[in-house]
Structures are given as C-alpha cells and as structure tokens.
Structure 1
Amino acid sequence: MEDCELDAGTVEIVKRSRGRHVIRTLYDADADFNCFGRAPIGTYMLATLPRSGSTFCAIRLWQTGLLGAPMEYLNFRIMGDLFQRLGYRPDKDGHIPSSQVGAYWSDVQRLRTSPNGMFGYKMFASNYYEISKKFPEFLQQIAPNYVVYLTRRDEVGQAISYSRAQRSRIWFGGVPDAPAVDYDYEHIKACLRSVEEQKGFWESVFGITGTDPIRIFYEDLLEPEFSTVTSVLRAMGIQPNPKSAITVPMTMRQTDGVSKDWRERFLEDSCREAEVNRDA
C-alpha cells in the first residue's frame, strides 16, 4: 500500500492477478502496509478451524484498516511466494530454518502492521500444534495480546464443506474446472469428528495459556451491518472509524445446491444409523 495516511481516503490494494487466484495476490507487495516503522503496538491471533469462513473473516477485519492483515503467515507450506519475496529459502518440507523464523516474523510484522500499530495473523489448530513441536521457543515470540476465536454454529455444514475440500483439494471459490466429488457419509462423519477435536484442542490451548478469547461466529459475519467486526474492534479498545476503511479483494463464497443435497442425505443417514444402533 503506497498511501498510509488515514485521512487520504480509501486505500485500494491493486489486484494484479495475471491468472493467479485472488487469495495468492493477498500476499503480494501490493497488499503490504509497510508504513508503521516499528514493532506493533498490539497483536492478535485469529484462531480458527477449516471451513469456518476464516478467509472471509480475515478480509473483513483487514478491510477496517485498523486490524492489520490477518492472513496465514505461519502456515509455512503455503508461504513459498512470500518466503521468496522476503529472501528466505525453505527446506524440502516447506519450512525456513529455525534460526531464521524470528527474522521472518519481524519482516512480516513490518510489512503487515496497519497504520495504527495493530498486527494480526490467522492460525489453524494444526499449524499451532506443528509450531509447538518444531519451533516451541517461537510460541513466546508470537504470543498475541488478543485472540479472536472464529467458529461456525452449523457444524454439519462445516463438515460437509470440509469433506468436499479435502477430497477435491479445492479450498477457495472461483477455481475453474474444480473436480466434482461424490457424497461420502463416512467421510463427512470423520470431518465432523475432526471439527469437534480441533475445537477441543483450541479450548485446551486457551486453558493452558489463560486466554479469554473474543468469540465470534461465521454466521454473524454475514450480517450486512458488520456489527461483529465492530465488536472485535471495541473488545480491543479500538474506536471504529469508517474513514480508515480500505479495499481488499474478497474471495468468492463456496456455496451451491450440492451442499444442500448432501446435508439432507447426511441427516437422513444419521437418523437411519441411530435407529440401527438403537435396535442393536
């Protein structure tokens, strides 16, 4: 972002896709703030689960111009482009050397802290677990001032979406020629268990670290007045300011009739299985 003056009007991130999916452009230099000039005043982690609308949420928070750009900077396996841009060379497993993780984090904060001094990052339970095992000393460095915990009330819908994404390997809308996958009751059940286990993992982390997260739901983010985003700002002691808003490209929502059909079939199969188990 070339213009970091809040009173200069809306700052627009220029989308230069060149055939790339919009999600990848959100890690480009065009999307950097790069204007705060020192360590962040405040930090937060967007703790979340797969298929909970986390990218949608992250962009909504980003669009305020007051909450940094909370993307997946610690999901090392998808950070190849950013590593290269910042001059880091990952190993064969997609990680940068442990001796460089701290410097990488400082570079990301320098580029992605919003003008008011706030820096955010998105974290899945699997990424947090991996870091705790491979870079345990790094957890202290990334410890945030706040945690925003995003979940989804509709766990069945989440599990269906999770099942489709895992098997098609398509995690974002707008991907051309996305492969179709068949309904699989057992796989959806496994995804539902995984969602519950990941939620349990986060609750354990919150308990161990003494964290009282700001809890929000994906469904509430769909409300047009964005009251949920306002509540997040206020929970962090930040005064909402429409003049600070910036334009950030939004990814396409993945919603279609297939998921609706799968839901009906899944609920029917669940009832049938419950009856069999009851009669056994």
Structure 2
Amino acid sequence: MDVRGYAICTTPRSGSNFLCQILAATGVMGRPLEWFNGPGRRAIDHPDYPDEAELQLSAIRDLGATGNGVYGLKLFPEQFAAVEHLRWVERLPGLCFVHLRREDMLGSALSWARALQTGQYRSTAPRFAESVYDAALIARCLGDLARNEARWRLWFAQNGLRPLVLDYARVIADPLAAVQAVADLLGLDGPVTLGPDGVDLRIQADAETDIWRRRFIEERRTMDAITPTYSVIIDP
C-alpha cells in the first residue's frame, strides 16, 4: 500500500474544523484532526487518547488514516513546537503540507475572542457563556494570529517548502474544489466526492460579529502608525 498523507498547518478560527470534516467525509482522504492535542481528543472523540507524543505520532498512521493508506493531521504552531523533538516531519511517509489561511485576519480574531468567552469552538457545540465585546481581547487575538501566521510562513520558507495554500473564504465558497485540490496534491486518481455522512458544521459569524468589527476598527484605527508586534534580532 502506498502510504501518504498531509498536514494542515493553520491558525485558530481559519475554518480548519470545517475543512477537516469535509476531507474526512470523502472516506479516502484520512481523518485529519489535532492528533498532537491529547486533551482535545479525549474531550471530543477518544476518551483514552494518550498524552505521550510518541503514541500520538503512531495514532496519526492508525486513527488518522483511511483504508487506502492516506492519513491526515492538523496542527497549530504551538503544537508543532511541543513535538518537534519527535522529528515527525521526517518520520511520516509521503508527507505533504496544506497551509490553511484566513486572509480576513480580523475576522479570525473576532471569532477567536468570542470562542474564548463562550467556549463554543464549533457550531455544533454548546455555549457555556455569552460573548461580550472586549477590544483588548480582540487585539490580543489579532496579534497572536499575526505571529502564528508569520511562524508558519517562516518555517515553510526556511525549509524550501511550497505548501498547497487554501484560503478560508474560498473553502467556504467551494468546499469540493478545496477537497479536490488536496486530492491532487496527494496524487489520488479521479474526482473525489463527499460520503453520506456529509458535513454538519456551519459558519458562526453573525450580526454581532459585524457590530464588533465596525466598533473595533473605529476604536483601534491607526492609519498614521504601524503597531509593533515583535522585534527581529539579527546576530552579528
């Protein structure tokens, strides 16, 4: 069997849950989940999932694969940093990379701030609290997203990698095109379709999101200055 797979490299609130669900729904493109997130896996779908990184790496080839040998995973920069000692990039066979981005970074920040407050990271999950506009929280989320996106771009560049780039808006507008793009990256034959289970996630942005966006831009507009985020230190 020709074992191959892909890592979805992304940042919070960039549509990764939706993309992973439609990829899994094909039945032939692995089961891309946060396999390096023990608490998350135990809370959602695998009560006995381990915290040991080596066992999590094995789970990618086992739980994260479909019968045709294709496996998938998704991860955020902090998860990568936590397991980089495994050298998992070298150990996973036939590994390709998908860079899932959200061009509307403020949209991601608004979504992340609300999720942090409500505990609702998926449309199918319950809310544990109500969301309240908090400009400082949104600004922190925006800064963290910018840094995380920069970490991925730096890592791709310094390793000479050219990942398949998918944007949130295009994935939402044409899910099947996104699925087919990943299938083409893997070299799978023929068109790929969604199975009978389908997809139950929906967009969580609503009228409140629009109100928060307008208010945040009005309050934090800095057209005559660039807000510093971090410093670059160059060794002599």
| TM-score bin, normalised by smaller chain | 0.7 to 0.9
Aligned to 2:67: 115
Query: Quick check: 1:42–1:145 contact (8 Å CA) kept in 2?
Result: yes
- Which of 100, 104, 112 aligns to 1:154? It is 104
Aligned residues: CA RMSD: 2.7
Provide closer, same or farther for how the CA distance between residues 177 and 148 of structure 1 changes in structure 2, counting only shifts above 3 A: closer
Q: Which deviations, in whole Å up to 9, do the C-alpha atoms of 1:136-176 show, x marking residues without a partner?
A: 44453347620011011111111111111123332122333
Amino acid at match of 1:116: N
Does residue 220 of structure 1 match 2:182?
no
Aligned to 1:241: 191
Does residue 259 of structure 1 match 2:216?
no
Does residue 58 of structure 1 match 2:20?
yes
Bigger Rg, which one: 1
Q: Which deviations, in whole Å up to 9, do the C-alpha atoms of 1:108-129 show, x marking residues without a partner?
A: 4223322322111011111111
Query: Quick check: 1:234–1:240 contact (8 Å CA) kept in 2?
Result: no
Provide closer, same or farther for how the CA distance between residues 107 and 176 of structure 1 changes in structure 2, counting only shifts above 3 A: closer
Query: Quick check: 2:22–2:175 contact (8 Å CA) kept in 1?
Result: no
Q: Which deviations, in whole Å up to 9, do the C-alpha atoms of 1:225-253 show, x marking residues without a partner?
A: 62222122112222243567352553343
Query: Quick check: 2:36–2:56 contact (8 Å CA) kept in 1?
Result: no
Amino acid at match of 1:169: G
Structure 1's unaligned 5+ residue stretches are: 1-37, 89-94
Provide closer, same or farther for how the CA distance between residues 205 and 144 of structure 1 changes in structure 2, counting only shifts above 3 A: farther
Provide closer, same or farther for how the CA distance between residues 225 and 139 of structure 1 changes in structure 2, counting only shifts above 3 A: closer
CA distance in 1, matches of 2:106, 2:129: 22
Q: Structure 1 length as normaliser, TM-score?
A: 0.71
- Which of 40, 45, 50 aligns to 2:7? It is 45
CA distance in 2, matches of 1:130, 1:143: 21
CA distance in 2, matches of 1:194, 1:118: 32
Amino acid at match of 2:209: S
Query: Quick check: 1:62–1:248 contact (8 Å CA) kept in 2?
Result: no
> How many residues are treated as equivalent by the alignment?
225
Q: Structure 2 length as normaliser, TM-score?
A: 0.82
